[in-house]
Structures are given as structure tokens and as C-alpha cells.
Chains A and B, each alone.
Chain A
């Protein structure tokens, strides 16, 4: 109705002007004709009231807010559909902002905030040694908190928990021969499932009776995912047999869907009772007091708090430790062992190695995504402001016809509400996609995948809706308030030109663009920092050459080799591998670089004054290892057959170890000592026979550590799991094929597993790669949004100044000057934005220092690159409007409305 009236008035106005009246006179005439506007308001009100059956209040709209809202929304939809290009762009950017933030929050939520899907997770508490900074013995598994002896003590003596359980993780090979098929396994105490309060989907769970020393076939429980994935969801699953590392077990039950174990980010596949450790492992960790491999969680008794439980286990510490001192510990170790103290910690969110690795990067990414959202909201605000200024006349008329400001505010707010709703919906969809992508990114191909449960829970939904609502309020309100502040007379008296020269709208839009530029600069700096950091990590000199090396993992347990024969057998296998056509070099190693494994002991230089002990890493390798890894031998010799059992202990050390030992410029011929470890081996002395270049040991980020290499032929405790590194120019598929054959010739019962060294290194850099990829993605997006915002403002400015440009050109300015003027305007906005951005970036990037490698957070090259990039972006954004400005025809410009 209002639209009709407005059109009518405008037609009348045009008619009068065409008839010869001046614009002002026509304005006055139309206003006069309008005259009895109160009457109109009353009439319309009466009509509505007749429909609604309510009393009429002059000047207001109908009293049915929902009906109005619906009308407003429909109107908003039509209005948005008209400005398709802008709507699409802004909606997309808003959806991306919301989607990115929600995706990261979803991941953080699944990783850190959400409780385990078990009954009353807040009653669970983790028990472990407090502030542990020393340990001795054999550590295995992801969370080697306790030994079995300590677990049994705790289980028998504790009184704070209504139930306690222990678990250790393991990888089981399901295949009896040939290439291995690894699954995630858990060894759990009998009460594991009961205390957690989960129910079986099929069959039953373990009880305390199932977990007794000497158990033969207590059964296995498989996870729901495993059941579906590997057993095809077989309804007759209970009773089926599984082979775990060559031992057969019966499946007694399946856990319910949604239960994945006590660790976030790692789904278990098969669980067996702790007692199975005796059968499955050659070195039975149940009996080895210096074997650390278990984690313990208890459910608090009613009325007990974590603090009280913590005090309780602390009081039990001395008794438990006295009863479990490892017999192999030398006296200094015993003393430190007795100083341990136990404590209880909240365990509602379970344990998570994934959380430890990714928590910080994710929080960082959340910040980045939030900034992206701000930029998108600035775009939204700009759009709404632009439209508001265009519709001023219509708003003025409506005000004249009796609409209230509240009504108008609602109308304008409805538009941004619509935007926010659409943005939230799209954003949720994008969030899901982005989340799946990150999960896929974090999973290694061919290995059991690391999963996180990504279904949105109420926290994520609340977050998204809250975000959308906030952006709606914040950025819908400002333009709405501005527009409804329009002064009626002022607008109607305006020149017939389409836009008004009111001071308000434009400076605010410029401010928004400046903010966008500043924020994009910060994101670009972040993106560049992480990308350059990753590049440095990837190209860092590791001391060895990754490309072309295949890691071969063998499992000899099926051969049942007695210990004395193992060393010789492993050497024979190595010869076989070396003889395989296509293989350039091969060697064995107990620690593969960058695999995350480690072996360290205290060492010190032999002879002379007492030098301080310090910790060094060890690796047991065969002859030819350094040739295979292409690590230069700087002095002395490689291992040879003479370095066998019975001969004096020898070692090859790296430069850092030589330096720390204080062995001088030529360490060859000197000796060093190694402490007695916790497993019964006494102090040893080694003769240094060679010096090698420094190499990375555990991860690419580390500073070079001191490393001592000892020969594989002097292995006093050989295991049945040799690992070999093979250098070859053959493509991996071919190489694995010939190696499989070679090993099968020795014995078909040997199980193998292959992985390229380069792949291992890539996987170790996963957090950094993820950061760099996502930060770069967000940074580019931010730059794109800023450029769109800049373009919008400059284009608007050109349109507004068309007359001015026309006059300038009529007075003799050439197109080039005009174009430069426009570009200069863009440049001005850019400069202000950059200034603010630089200050912000300096403040913010400090927090990222820990995540970077080889770069300081205030790296000037990075900042310079970001400035250059944004400058380029700004230039591009202003090119089109500048060209348009330079093409203005002065005659047209001066006549235009």
C-alpha cells in the first residue's frame, strides 16, 4: 500500500515538473495535496482494525506483531532477491565466517570440552603420579602412568572410589601371516566397562572374574564401529573368533554405538582383559615392575570430591611405593621412586593425546576464524548501510503517512534477521564440511583412522545461533537506527537526485572498510607466518635424506626364535634385503627417526675429573645405517662384523654428543659411560669409534640432540620386532612387492608392514600443516572480503561524485588525473587500515611464537609481504571504479540526477 502511495506521489511530482513548475514548487504542491495525512493514517488504521477487531490507535500499524513480521520478512526476501550480486557475495562471506568459526569450535568442543559419552562422566577421576619429571624403566603406550604392580596396590587399597579400572593401549595385528592388518587395541581390567557405565549392544562385557592371572581365552570385546566395519555387522558376532598377534580369542560382546573408549581422538577396536598381556607379549608387563604402561580412572563415591580423593591417594603413596619398588633399580633410582606422590585429576573429558597436540593450534584458529567473521559482518553492515541510504525517501514517506519508528526499525531489522538466519543455516552446513575435511586431513592413509565425534551438540548449536543473533543485532541495528532517524521534510525536499548528501552514512562506511582492511592485514600476517614456518620446517636439514627410504616393520613372533638366535637371524634377513634387486642400501634400526619413539639414558665422559651426567638419546643400528640414511660419517669408522657380542662395547656418536661430553675435536678413541638403567642392566662403558653429522631424532622441530649409536650385533636383549630402512630408486609399490617376496622366502610366517620415511615425516608435521593450510585459507578469504568492501565503498564514492568529476573534466582535468584521484582515495583508506592493522598484528602475533619455527612473530619480511599483498588487493579493487570515473562524460555528468 505504501509503495503505491509513494509511486502516486512521485508520478504527480514528475507531472508537475514536466508541466513547468520548479522542483520546489512541485514539492510544496504535492505536500499540500497530501494535506490530511492524519486522515489517511486513521483510514488505514480503521481498515486494519476492522480486520483485527481491535481499537484503533492513530498513526500506528496493526497490533499483530507476528503478522507484521511475516510481512516484513516477505518484503525483505523480495528486496534481497533484487540485489542479487551483492546479496550472494555478502551471504557467502557471512556463511564462511560463521561456518569457519563453528567448525573450529566444533572440533575444540569434541576435543576438549565435551564429556565422554558414558554415565555421569563428571564423577570420573584420573589417578597418576603428581608432577612427574623423572622416570626410569620401560615406557610403552600413549599414557604410561602406572606399572601393573602399582595398579594392583591402588585397586586393593583405595577407598575413595566406588570402582576403579586400568587400561593400556596396544596395536593388534589381525592377520596371522603376510602383510599386517593393525587395529587399535585396549587391555582393560575386569571392571572397565562396569565402572564406565556403558552397556553392550551385543553379548556381554568382562567381569572381574574374567580378568585373572593365567587366563587362557577370556574373550574379546569389539567396538561397534569395528563390528560394522570389519565384521559386516554380523548378527552372529558373539562367538566368532579373532586372531590377535597370532593368538585366537572368542568375541564375547560388542559395545554400543557412540562409545569409543577413554581417549578422545582414538577409537578402540578390540579390548581384552589385562591378564591377556601374559599371552600376547613376550615381555609380560604384568610381572615387570619397571614397565610403565597403564592408566587408571576411578568413579568417585557419592559425597567424595576430587580434592578429597586426591588427598586420599596421596596418603597411600608411601605404602604403595614401598610394596612395588622395582628390584632392578639401583639405589639412586629407588630414592627418586620413593619420592613419587599420587593425585587425582578430573577425567570427565577423558585422556587425549590429540588434545595435547592440537588444542593450542585450534584455539588459535578459532581466533582467526572469529576475526574473519568480524570482517564478514563489516561487509554485511556496509551493504545494509548502502541500501538504507537508498531507501530514505520511501522511509520518509512512510513516516509522513503515520508509521512509527518502531515499525520501521522492525522492518529493517527483519532484513538483517533474515540474513543472519540464512547465514547461520549455510554456515552450519559449511562447518560440517570443513570439520570432515580436517578430520580426513588428520588421518593417515592406511592406518587406523583417528576419529572425533563431530555431531553438533547443544553447545555448538548455541554457539552458532548466538553468533548469528549477535551479528544480526549488532549490524542490523546501526543501519536501522540511522535510517529511521531520517527527517521527513529534509528528504522530501531533497533534490530529485537519487542520493542525499547527508553527512552520516558515508563516513561510517569508510570506517567499516578501514576496519576490514586492518583485520585482513592481521589475518594475512598470520597466514604468511604459519606458511613460512611450515616451509622452513619442511626444508630444514634433518641430517638425513628422507626421499627414497622405505621403513619395513617385521614381526617374527610366529617363528618362536629363542633369544640367542635372534641377532643372527635378523642379520641374515638384512642380507636378504640387501641382496634384493633394486635395493641400494639397507640397514636395521631400533628407533626410526621422527617416528615418535625414543630411548634415552644418562651418559658422561669416562676418565678424568667427574663430569656432569646428562641425558643422551640412543639408537641401535646395523652397519650401513648411515649410508642408507645418507648421513655423513665425519671421522672414524662404521660398525663392522668384529663389533659382535663379547667384544668391547662400541658406539658412534653425533656432533652434539661429542660437544656435550667435552671430548674435544677428535672424540674417536675416547670412552663414555652409560648409567645403569631400571631394567637390571648395570653401568656400561663404550668406546667411541666414529663421529657422524647431527640428525633429528624425535621431531623436525627439535634442536639437534646428543645421540649415541650402538651396533645391532651387540644387542643384549634382542626382541622379535626388527625394523629396517631400505633405500631404493624403485617406485614404492614395486619395492614392497619384491621385499615381501624376499622376506617370504626366509619364512612365510613373518608379518610385515611398510611405510615410507617421507610419509612418516609428513605425518609428524600434521599440526603445522593444518595450521598453515587453514590460516592461509582464512587469510586469503579475508583479503578477498576486504577487497570487496573496498570496491563497494570506492564505487559508491565515484557514483556520488559524478557531478564533481564532470565539473573537473569540463574544467580541463584529463582522465588520467581523475583515475589517479580515485586510486589515491583508495590508497588513503588502505593506509589508515594498514596503520591500525600493523599495530594490531604486532600485539596479536606475539601469542603465536610457540607455534612458529625459524621465525620470530615480528618478522619484518612477513609484515612487508603482507603490506605488499594488501596493497595489490587495494589497487585491483580500485581499478574498475577508477576507470569508470575517468570515462565520465562531463555533459552527462552535469545533467544527471
Chain B
């Protein structure tokens, strides 16, 4: 698996799990990913938003404009019910995958 594919597969998981806590907007998401991953994972502007829109189209997240006094309006994304289901499923399959990889790469084997 190339690094790119790895990222692509896990990108959705990253976003969805960040949104699990509370609704966020695009810039916030990109900052969080960068800081929480310790700089390892960094989203390109273009791909972040394409991803968000794709997920929105699939109904996993829902975005809406929020306007606050004297601020520009921003688009916040939140997790939908189907999105939560997808998150759970992806999370379990990811954890299973990681465990499998660990088993294969780490530890003793002949």
C-alpha cells in the first residue's frame, strides 16, 4: 500500500472521528489533524474539502453556514446518524487491520 492510499483510506476515519466530539469547520479540522497527529498527517487544502463534500454527498456529514455577529459566516460540519454508523464500522475494521499488521510485523514468527 502506498502512503497515498493509506492516507486516503484513513482520511475519512480521521475526519469522522474528529467530528464525533462536536461540529467543526474546515480549517479547524485541518489544524486539529496536524496537531493531534504530531505533524505526521497533514491535509492538503484541496483534498480536505473535496473529501468533506464527498462525505456530505454520501450523507455521512452535514454542513451548514453559521453566522455570528460581526464575524464572517463559516461552514460547520457535523456527524449524521448514518455517519456515526460508518465511523463505528471503519473504526472497528481499522483497529482489526492494525492488530493484524502488528501480528504480522511485530513479535516473533518464523
Residue ID in chain A nearest B42 by CB atoms: A33
Instruction: Sort chain B's interface into a size bin.
Output: 10 to 19
Interface assignment of B49: CB less than 8 Å from any CB of chain A: yes
Q: Are A7 and B30 closer than 8 Å at their CB atoms?
A: no
Question: B46 to A4, Cβ gap below 8 A?
Answer: no
Binds B, one of A8-16, A246-254, A732-740, A879-887: A8-16
Verify if B54 is at the interface (C-beta below 8 Å from A): yes
Interface centre among A7, A44, A47 (most CB of B within 10 A): A7
Residue contact B53 to A11, C-beta cutoff 8 Å: no
Chain B proximity mask over A1-45: 1 for CB below 8 Å, otherwise 0: 101110111011000000000000000000001111101100110
Contact status B50-A4, CB under 8 Å:
no
Q: Are B46 and A37 in contact (CB under 8 A)?
A: yes
Q: Mark B8-47, 1 if CB is under 8 A from A, else 0.
A: 0000000000000000011100100000000000001111
A44-B44 Cα distance, complex, nearest whole Å: 14
Mark out the residues of chain A between 40 and 62 whose CB falls within 8 Å of any chain B CB in the assembled complex.
40, 43-44, 47
Q: A interface, by DSSP: helix, strand, loop or mixed? A: helix
B84 at the interface (CB under 8 A from A): no
CB nearest neighbor in A for B72: A7
* Residues of chain B contacted by A12 (CB below 8 angstroms): 27
Most chain A beta-carbon neighbours within 10 Å: one of B45, B49, B53: B45
Do A39 and B46 touch across chains, with their CB atoms under 8 A apart? yes
Residues of B within 8 A of A8 (CB): 26-27, 30, 45, 49
Report the minimum CB–CB distance from A801 to chain B (whole Å).
25
Residues of chain B within 8 A of A1, CB atoms compared: 49, 53
Identify B75's interface contact among A4, A11, A47, CB under 8 A: A4
Please provide the chain B residues from 37 to 73 with a CB less than 8 Å away from any CB of chain A in the complex: 44-47, 49-50, 53-54, 57, 72
Chain B neighbourhood of A5, CB < 8 A: 45, 49
Given known contacts A4-B75, A7-B72, A7-B74, A43 and B27 CB-to-CB distance under 8 angstroms? no
Residues of A within 8 A of B54 (CB): 47
Closest-by-CB residue of B relative to A8 is: B27
What interface size band does chain A fall in? 10 to 19
How many angstroms from the CA of A624 to the CA of B74 in the assembled complex?
89
Residues of B within 8 A of A9 (CB): 45
The CA-CA distance from A12 to B45 in the complex, in Å, is 10
By the criterion CB–CB under 8 Å, are B45 and A33 in contact?
yes
A4, A7, A9, A37: most-surrounded residue (chain B CB, <10 A): A4
A4-B26 in contact (CB<8A): yes
Chain B positions within 8 Å of A34 at CB level: 45-46
B50 & A44 in contact (Cβ 8 Å cutoff) = yes
In Å, the complex CA distance between A47 and B49 comes to: 12
Q: How far is the CA of A9 from the CA of B53 in the complex (A)?
A: 18
Give chain B residues whose Cβ lies under 8 Å from the Cβ of A33. Answer: 44-45
Q: How far is the CB of A613 from chain B (nearest CB, A)?
A: 88
Q: Shortest Cβ distance from B104 into chain A, in angstroms?
A: 34
Expressed in whole angstroms, the Cα–Cα distance for A3 and B27 within the complex equals 12
Minimum Cβ distance to chain B for residue A210 (Å): 77
Chain A residues positioned under 8 Å from B75 (CB to CB):
3-4
- Give residues in A with beta carbon < 8 Å to B: 1, 3-5, 7-9, 11-12, 33-37, 39-40, 43-44, 47
Q: List 19 A-B contacts (CB under 8 A).
A: A1-B49, A3-B75, A4-B25, A4-B49, A4-B75, A5-B45, A5-B49, A7-B26, A8-B26, A8-B30, A8-B49, A12-B27, A33-B44, A34-B45, A34-B46, A35-B44, A36-B44, A40-B50, A44-B50
Please give the residue numbers on chain B whose beta carbons come within 8 Å of chain A beta carbons, in ascending order: 25-27, 30, 44-47, 49-50, 53-54, 57, 72, 74-75
